[in-house]
């Protein structure tokens, strides 16, 4: 694996390999190296989880983190992203984990095929993809159910702005899950019809295995759209209220990539309810990212048995 930009570009075998590796790290089955690679985390959009989780993964792997704050970097003087990344490559940084508001930010960089470019890991591109979040979501679902085939998974909310939804809808459909989508009609991109179908939020809640809620992304909306938004109305129509939670099957789980707008997407009291896996998702994120970083250097992984994860 030379770069990590989109989970949907990986084969099922490569996915199984990543999930196995993450879980092997989680269960202490892989010996940690003592001398690590050089990595920079470059987040042009705000982040709590992804950035700190990559940092934790890097430190657990014994990697050396060369930190840059984009707001004080020379991009503020007009230096291009490409030149910034080549500069990091020139000083010896081997891997850059980057988040940027532009969809597919990595595509023109990879097309250049410059030997100066470090390996690139996508920490989120606009409303495009969030592959490390998607991997940790897969790991969380796999730990719960042991498979993906036939699971009834509903993704709810701000689908059009959500890179999590774009990553997860495609990969979960490919792995055999039955997907339904709900939320405001104006936030439903018809391209999602390829992966599942649109339903009323209240339809067949009892049949769901996973209810995955999405954050309302006010920062990607026009001021007029934000001005018309009512938190209470959204919660009543599309949110996970206590009444909807009580209709979930005993074995069902709720997920959210976070940050959570409490009492908007999910009732405040439900964020840490028994069926919630929201904080477990964050814990699994560290192991997902350890696996991703490790897989950039395949030869280091010869000893890991990756035959355990089976889909179906
Ligand atoms: N889930 C997620 O990407 O969170 P952050 O924006 O805090 O990284």
Per-residue pLDDT for 312 more than 50? no
Residue 172 and residue 132: Cα distance in Å, rounded? 14
Mind listing the pLDDT tens digit for each residue in 195-239?
999 999 999 999 999 999 999 977 766 766 777 778 999 999 999
Q: In the structure encoding, which two tokens stand for residue 59, read together?
A: 């430190």
Distance in Å, CA 5 to ligand 1 centroid: 16
Half-sphere exposure of 143 (CA within 13 A, CB side): 21
Residue 91 and residue 35: Cα distance in Å, rounded? 18
Phi–psi pair at 170, nearest 5 degrees:
-70, -45
Residues 6+ apart with CB under 8 A from 215: 157, 158, 162, 256, 257, 258, 259, 260, 261, 265
The ligand 1 atom at the shortest distance from the C-alpha of residue 130 is 3
Distance in Å, CA 124 to ligand 1 centroid: 9
Domain boundaries 131-278, corresponding CATH code: 3.40.50.1370
pLDDT at 50: 98
pLDDT cut 90: percent of the chain above it: 87
With cut-offs at 50, 70 and 90, classify the pLDDT of residue 34. low
Start-end ranges of CATH 3.40.50.1370 in the chain?
A: 7-129+282-300, 131-278
- Residues enclosing ligand 1, CB less than 6 A? 47-50, 133, 257-259
Per-residue pLDDT for 304 more than 80? no
With cut-offs at 50, 70 and 90, classify the pLDDT of residue 91. very high
Q: What mean pLDDT comes out for the span 29-36?
A: 83
Distance in Å, CA 75 to ligand 1 centroid: 23
Domain boundaries 7-129+282-300, corresponding CATH code: 3.40.50.1370
Q: What is the ipTM of this complex?
A: 0.99
Residue 171 and residue 76: Cα distance in Å, rounded? 36
pLDDT at 15: 95
What predicted TM-score, i.e. pTM, was given to this entire model? 0.91
Q: Which of the listed residues 45, 124, 126, 289 should we mutate to test ligand 1's pocket, taking the one with most ligand atoms within 8 A of CB?
A: 124
pLDDT at 227: 72
pLDDT at 262: 96
Mind listing the pLDDT tens digit for each residue in 43-86?
999 999 999 999 999 999 999 999 999 999 999 999 999 999 99
Residue 250 and residue 142: Cα distance in Å, rounded? 17
The ligand 1 atom at the shortest distance from the C-alpha of residue 124 is 3
Nearest CA to ligand 1 atom 6: 47
Distance in Å, CA 123 to ligand 1 centroid: 9
Nearest CA to ligand 1 atom 3: 50
Residue 249 and residue 206: Cα distance in Å, rounded? 5
| Among candidate residues 57, 99, 49, the one with its CA nearest the CA of residue 278 | 49
Residue 88 and residue 75: Cα distance in Å, rounded? 13
Mind listing the pLDDT tens digit for each residue in 123-180?
999 999 999 999 999 999 999 999 999 999 999 999 999 999 999 999 999 999 999 9
Q: What mean pLDDT comes out for the span 179-205?
A: 96
pLDDT at 226: 73
């Amino acid at each position: 694996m030379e770069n990590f930009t989109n989970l949907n570009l990986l084969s099922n075998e490569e996915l199984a390999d990543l999930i196995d590796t993450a879980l092997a790290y989680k269960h202490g089955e892989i010996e940690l190296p003592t001398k690590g690679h050089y990595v920079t985390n470059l987040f042009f959009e705000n982040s709590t989880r992804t950035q700190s989780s990559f940092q934790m993964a890097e430190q657990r792997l014994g990697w050396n983190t060369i930190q840059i704050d984009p707001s004080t970097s020379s991009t503020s003087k007009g230096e291009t992203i490409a030149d910034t990344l080549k500069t990091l490559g020139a000083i010896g940084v081997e891997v850059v984990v980057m988040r940027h508001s532009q969809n597919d930010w990595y595509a023109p960089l990879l097309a250049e095929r410059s030997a100066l470019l470090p390996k690139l890991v996508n920490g989120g591109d606009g409303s495009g993809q969030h592959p490390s979040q998607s991997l940790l979501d897969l790991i969380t679902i796999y730990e719960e159910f042991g498979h993906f085939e036939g699971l009834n998974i509903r993704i709810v909310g701000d689908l059009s702005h959500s890179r999590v939804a774009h990553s997860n809808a495609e990969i979960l459909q490919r792995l055999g899950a039955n997907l339904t989508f709900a939320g405001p009609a104006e936030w439903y991109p018809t391209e999602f019809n390829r992966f599942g179908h649109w339903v009323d939020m209240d339809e067949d809640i009892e049949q769901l295995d996973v209810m995955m809620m999405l954050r309302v992304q006010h920062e990607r909306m026009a001021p007029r759209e934000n001005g018309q938004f009512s938190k209470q109305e959204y919660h009543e129509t599309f949110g996970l209220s206590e009444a909807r939670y009580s209709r979930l099957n005993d074995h069902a789980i709720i997920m959210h990539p976070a940050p959570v707008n409490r009492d908007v997407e999910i009732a405040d009291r439900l964020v840490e309810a028994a069926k919630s896996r929201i904080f477990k998702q964050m814990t699994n994120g560290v192991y997902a990212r350890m696996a991703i970083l490790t897989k950039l250097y395949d030869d280091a992984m010869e000893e890991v048995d990756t035959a355990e994860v089976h889909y179906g």
